[in-house]
Amino acid sequence: MDGRYLIGLDFGTLSVRGVLIDAGSGVAVDHHASPYRHGVMSGSLPQGTPLPPGFALQDPGDYLTAAEEVLARLGRDRHILAIGLDFTASSPLPTTTDGTPLSALMPGEPHAYVKLWKHSAQRYADAINAAGGAFLDDFGGRLSGEWLLAKAAEIAAEAPDVWAAADRFMEAGDWMVLRLTGREARNLGFAAYKAQYSAAAGYPPGIVPGLEARLARPLPAGSPAGELTDDWRRRTGILGPATVAVAIIDSHAVLPAVGAVEGGTMVGALGTSAGYLFLAERRVPLPVGLEGVAHGGSLPNLWLYEAGQAAFGDLLAWFVRTFPRGPDLSASFAAYNAEAATLAPGDNHLVGLDWWNGNRVPHADSRLSGLLMGFGLDTTAAGIYRALMEALCYGTRRVLELANAGGLDTRRLVMTSGLAETNPLLVAIMADVLGREIELPTIAHATASGAAIHGAVAAGVVADFKEGAARFGARSRRMFTPDSQRSARYELLFSAYCQMADLAPVRAAMRRIGPQGGAAPDIRVTAATAKPKPTFG
Amino acid sequence: MDGRYLIGLDFGTLSVRGVLIDAGSGVAVDHHASPYRHGVMSGSLPQGTPLPPGFALQDPGDYLTAAEEVLARLGRDRHILAIGLDFTASSPLPTTTDGTPLSALMPGEPHAYVKLWKHSAQRYADAINAAGGAFLDDFGGRLSGEWLLAKAAEIAAEAPDVWAAADRFMEAGDWMVLRLTGREARNLGFAAYKAQYSAAAGYPPGIVPGLEARLARPLPAGSPAGELTDDWRRRTGILGPATVAVAIIDSHAVLPAVGAVEGGTMVGALGTSAGYLFLAERRVPLPVGLEGVAHGGSLPNLWLYEAGQAAFGDLLAWFVRTFPRGPDLSASFAAYNAEAATLAPGDNHLVGLDWWNGNRVPHADSRLSGLLMGFGLDTTAAGIYRALMEALCYGTRRVLELANAGGLDTRRLVMTSGLAETNPLLVAIMADVLGREIELPTIAHATASGAAIHGAVAAGVVADFKEGAARFGARSRRMFTPDSQRSARYELLFSAYCQMADLAPVRAAMRRIGPQGGAAPDIRVTAATAKPKPTFG
């Protein structure tokens, strides 16, 4: 395997980050990132067309430029065995049959661009949800406005010309695979989680006229899509087979990189927000409060259940930015962490609801807001900071308990991503609050490395994800063990958290005092809303 | 009246503040303050005896020394028509028949000293309340541990030798009058509010053996107690009749100084905490949630109802100290006020419960705590600061609405004291939240001036308090008028405040997460608690 490599590409919201892994040693030997030229477009299109409020678009041409730079930088004159890539989702775009983005043909039309994951067509999701259907059962009865079906409905209703011109409607991750290989090979994960596809029932019918014809039958995670095209080889200087795997949802790519490839595992990605993934060998009905489940889309032969917290690291960053204690954010975090670490559970007498960006589990209500109670005249700033960390951990415990109550086994708890790595106090508090041992795998570029493992599986470099994880995933892990005395003290505080979270009048008050709906008026949206219907277009 | 003067003395927690008023012009021409030598004793007695946790004592000798300095400074070689004084309450002390404080005879005995208002004998109050009695009706069924009856019970139970040696048990204000005049002339206000005396029923019998014999029949506010003794004249150089009025509860002394001498008036003293006084010509039963009522103790022929908020200015000071924005408290307040003033009602999307020091109205529960809800990732520090100001005003509105619902008329709303004078934004918000015009009388040394008016009435310098208020009270007032649009927006927020305040499970959660009772062990207290009984001693 000497001199043979894997490349993993992680297409995030603002840039693509690549990692080059030596297939022999398993070591990441280089990495490189390239930002998207137009970033996230929310004010206007590149040629000047102003965008309606709430729009968040991307130019698919930016992905190609950035990918070329990263692939050339990491792969030139190297023997590349495999390329894997992950992508934000749902970030779909309309194209012609050959994959030409409609944004290249209609550059002044907002609906022709990639609708980034954070672009929400909530009104259409609401209408779809209201119409109902068995396909909603695996998603708690609620599609998100960020998902593909709602975005297709939005285009069909608000830009019928664009919809008519679209031969295909696909996730940007699947589109990138099409461009790299010349073959349309969609991933089951995108289809299942973002377009409610199931092997048994296919895509839900009748939501948007003509949608099914614009989609395709997807392939399981780890499937090969094809080899890198000659054109890309010329432009990047890549040698070797360079087998490209089907793309993978970015938040799921981390699993093999942190060694989470078997049932009974919960993986928490503690970033700006927090995402929780539960791996199961056998299906149970979606536990009440969790957000979605599908099979084989992210790891073969495993059911993957999803849940999350809408604010996580950004909640702590909010506090530290709002009440700084040092010359920069990092110094402030250090100061707060140092003082918060001296407090025992309950010392601050505070309990908070971690809903600074709304609540996902169990209420799925973005209009809910943060709450802190227990203030006294001796409450300290560090006590509040610690209460926010504790509130985040109560939210995690809520997710875990709902999963367990619904029959999901969680023998292993694995935490990863930014907060887990940079804030060990937070993970220690979490171990105490959960009363469970937590694994923190040590691996740089975890998401891109996970994508590279998808490539390795697709190319047959390894027999399966288990071998891929062992050879190319985290080599060491830090363990956080709960202290039984501290855990016992958190029982009382967590019960107060649950009591507050479950008081319907509290949530009603939050909705009343919060920002009151109504984006700025947009004639087309208003017109569509005036006559909600289950079928769009 | 040329060259004739009144003196008002305001005995506060840490010092006595005096004002000299020209009886002809009505102008305050001088003022002086003198701190108590031993301040508040909570760690140990002057000779070294350590104090049990929670004790807050004063040395009565300190009052004499401080009063002598102030009287001499203001009164030497001047013709003084009258002296009035107000005092913290309930701050009682045991004495011999001639008024010698037992602390002078038993200097190592904590129970022989003045038990300052903030010293709470709550266990004894709880036992008295549990035993019940009609005398509780005028106090919402609940005596406070800060009041005289509970403190008498504490001495009788925990220091029977002290109780046996005490010929008299009296408020420090009444004791000061005894020292200045040589006559025991107690004030009806102290007796009614702090010892539950009523003209019809006297003191409640049977609470503490021998207590009634140690008390005395009190006189209405504005009664003359006597003239200054020759000894005091020698020591201070005071000339003229120097008629001393019976003392008055410090929080009630402000009434004539701000022109509140008739029924239908609500006066708010917005200090560290907030006290509200409702004047009524006719009696109504104590409105639910209010704290106490008595007749004639503070102004003749008027019913005076009391209520309050346990934290007020100290809540804002807590925030500004915890999250400073300038080199000192004053600069931080200025910065926060400037930014908070730019926000409209509801802009911060926050609602708070102002219970940082527990709640007095309507729940009378010191174990309740502060709460803030509505946080988002765009919440600002000034938004939180403003939410705290708004929460304080919601608390005020709650008091006002309970008073009105109970049949009290409030044609005039008068606000006074520190916060009212130094924070006009707070008073403006209060006018909007209440939807009512607020008067802010302009007068320096308001409390001491009010005491001086008591002296003037007692000495016959004026015919009554109405004339006293006109001649020696505030000469101008600032009016704060509500804005109807802002008031309308506060309706929604106030309804959310009430909804949260009235949710019993929220209060239960506060009690669970708060500090859990139990002062550090003290054998005597523990022993007394082990056998609670309605009669002590």
How far is Cα of residue B8 from the mean position of the Cα atoms in its chain? Answer: 17
Measured CA to CA, the distance from residue A412 to residue A255 in angstroms comes to: 13
Query: Would you place residue A129 in the very low, low, confident or very high pLDDT band (cuts 50, 70, 90)?
Result: very high
| B512 neighbourhood in chain A, CB within 8 Å | 492, 495-496
Return the pLDDT at B519.
39
Return the pLDDT at A418.
77
3-state secondary structure of A15: strand
Residue of B nearest to A314 (CA): B377
Size of interface A-B (CB pairs under 8 A): 131
**Which chain A residues have any C-beta within 8 angstroms of a chain B C-beta?**
311, 314-315, 318, 322-323, 346, 349-351, 353, 355-357, 369-377, 379-381, 492-493, 495-496, 499-500, 503, 505-506, 508-510, 512-515
- Select from A405, A261, A423, A271 the least CA-distant residue to A338: A423
Contact A375 B380 (CB under 8 A): no
What distance in Å separates residue A508's CA from the closest CA in chain B? 9
Name which of B314, B377, B380 is nearest A377 (Cβ-Cβ).
B314
| 8 A C-beta contact, residue A14 and residue A39 | yes
Weakest mean pLDDT among A100-104, A325-329, A419-423, B297-301: A419-423
Name which of B314, B381, B495 is nearest A322 (Cβ-Cβ).
B381
Low-confidence ranges of chain B (pLDDT < 50): 518-534, 537
Name which of B323, B349, B512 is nearest A513 (Cβ-Cβ).
B349
Query: Would you place residue A420 in the very low, low, confident or very high pLDDT band (cuts 50, 70, 90)?
Result: confident
Contact B374 A370 (CB under 8 A): yes
What distance in Å separates residue A342's CA from the closest CA in chain B? 18
- Alpha-carbon dihedral A227, A229, A234, A236, rounded to 10 degrees: -60
What distance in Å separates residue A421's CA from the closest CA in chain B? 23
Q: Phi and psi of B302, rounded to 5°?
A: -120, 140
Q: Residue B219 carries which side chain, given as an amino acid letter?
A: L
**pLDDT tens per residue across span A193-220:** 999 999 999 999 989 999 999 999 999 9
* Cα R_g (chain B), whole angstroms: 23
| B322 neighbourhood in chain A, CB within 8 Å | 379-381
Measured CA to CA, the distance from residue B47 to residue B388 in angstroms comes to: 43
Contact A514 B374 (CB under 8 A): yes
Name which of A315, A369, A508 is nearest B374 (Cβ-Cβ).
A369
Return the pLDDT at B432.
98
Residue of A nearest to B506 (CA): A500
| A314 neighbourhood in chain B, CB within 8 Å | 377
Return the pLDDT at A535.
53
Measured CA to CA, the distance from residue B19 to residue B10 in angstroms comes to: 9
Of B375 and A518, more confident: B375
Measured CA to CA, the distance from residue B403 to residue B266 in angstroms comes to: 10
Rounded (10°) angle between helices B122-131 and B523-530 = 10
CATH architecture of residue range(s) A4-251: 2-Layer Sandwich (3.30)
- Give the tokens for residue B436: 């009512």
Residue A507, CA distances (Å) to A371, A504, A527 in order:
10, 5, 31
Contact A379 B510 (CB under 8 A): no
- Select from B497, B235, B525 the least CA-distant residue to B392: B497
Query: Which residues neighbour A445 within 8 Å (Cβ) at sequence distance 6 or greater?
Result: A8, A10, A17, A19, A28, A31
Tally of residues, chain A:
537
Residue B362, preceding bond cis, omega within 30 degrees?
yes
Residue of A nearest to B494 (CA): A513
Contact A370 B351 (CB under 8 A): no
Contact A369 B372 (CB under 8 A): no
Strands B292-295 and A412-416: unpaired
Return the pLDDT at A523.
24
Measured CA to CA, the distance from residue B324 to residue B333 in angstroms comes to: 9
Task: Judge whether residue A524 has pLDDT over 70.
Answer: no
| A320 neighbourhood in chain B, CB within 8 Å | none
Return the pLDDT at A70.
98
Name which of B311, B323, B381 is nearest A377 (Cβ-Cβ).
B311
Measured CA to CA, the distance from residue A391 to residue B381 in angstroms comes to: 20
| B346 neighbourhood in chain A, CB within 8 Å | 513
Which helix (H) or strand (E) segment holds residue B408: the answer is none
Mean pLDDT in residue range A147-160 = 97
Residues of chain B with pLDDT > 70, as a percent, come to 96
Query: Which residues neighbour B76 within 8 Å (Cβ) at sequence distance 6 or greater?
Result: B236, B237, B238
Task: Judge whether residue A2 has pLDDT over 80.
Answer: no
First and final C-alpha spacing in chain B: 53
Measured CA to CA, the distance from residue A54 to residue A454 in angstroms comes to: 34
Return the pLDDT at A492.
95
Which helix (H) or strand (E) segment holds residue B330: the answer is helix B329-340
Residues of chain A with pLDDT > 90, as a percent, come to 89
| 8 A C-beta contact, residue A57 and residue A113 | yes
| 8 A C-beta contact, residue A236 and residue A285 | no
Contact B381 A346 (CB under 8 A): no
Return the pLDDT at B54.
86
What distance in Å separates residue A327's CA from the closest CA in chain B? 14
| A339 neighbourhood in chain B, CB within 8 Å | none
| 8 A C-beta contact, residue B54 and residue B120 | yes
Return the pLDDT at A364.
84
Return the pLDDT at B517.
56
Name which of B314, B369, B499 is nearest A374 (Cβ-Cβ).
B369
The alpha carbon dihedral of B257, B259, B264, B269 has a sign of: negative
First and final C-alpha spacing in chain A: 53
Q: Which residue has the tokens 């590409």?
A: A9
**pLDDT tens per residue across span A261-281:** 999 999 999 988 999 999 999
Across-strand partners of B295?
B303
Measured CA to CA, the distance from residue A154 to residue A536 in angstroms comes to: 8
Name which of A356, A371, A373 is nearest B377 (Cβ-Cβ).
A356
Interface confidence (ipTM) of the complex: 0.88
| 8 A C-beta contact, residue A371 and residue A410 | no
Return the pLDDT at A421.
79
Mean pLDDT in residue range A143-150 = 94
**Interface probe, candidates B377, B378, B511, chain A, greatest A C-beta count within 10 A:** B377
Task: Judge whether residue A537 has pLDDT over 70.
Answer: no
Return the pLDDT at A202.
95
What distance in Å separates residue A384's CA from the closest CA in chain B? 10
Measured CA to CA, the distance from residue A420 to residue A398 in angstroms comes to: 18
Residues of chain B with pLDDT > 90, as a percent, come to 89
Q: Phi and psi of B10, rounded to 5°?
A: -110, 105
What distance in Å separates residue B271's CA from the closest CA in chain A? 15
Residue A527, CA distances (Å) to A123, A154, B403 in order:
12, 12, 51
Measured CA to CA, the distance from residue B114 to residue A360 in angstroms comes to: 57
Domain ranges of chain A: 4-251, 259-442+483-514
Q: How many CA atoms lie within 13 A of A278 on its CB side?
A: 28
Measured CA to CA, the distance from residue A433 to residue A345 in angstroms comes to: 9
Q: Is the CATH number of domain A259-442+483-514 3.30.499.10? A: no
Contact A513 B499 (CB under 8 A): no
Contact A512 B492 (CB under 8 A): yes
Contact B375 A381 (CB under 8 A): no
What distance in Å separates residue A134's CA from the closest CA in chain B? 35
Measured CA to CA, the distance from residue A156 to residue A149 in angstroms comes to: 11
Do B259-442+483-514 and B4-251 have the same topology in CATH? yes
| B369 neighbourhood in chain A, CB within 8 Å | 349, 373-376
pTM reported for the whole predicted model = 0.89
Query: Which residues neighbour B2 within 8 Å (Cβ) at sequence distance 6 or greater?
Result: B24
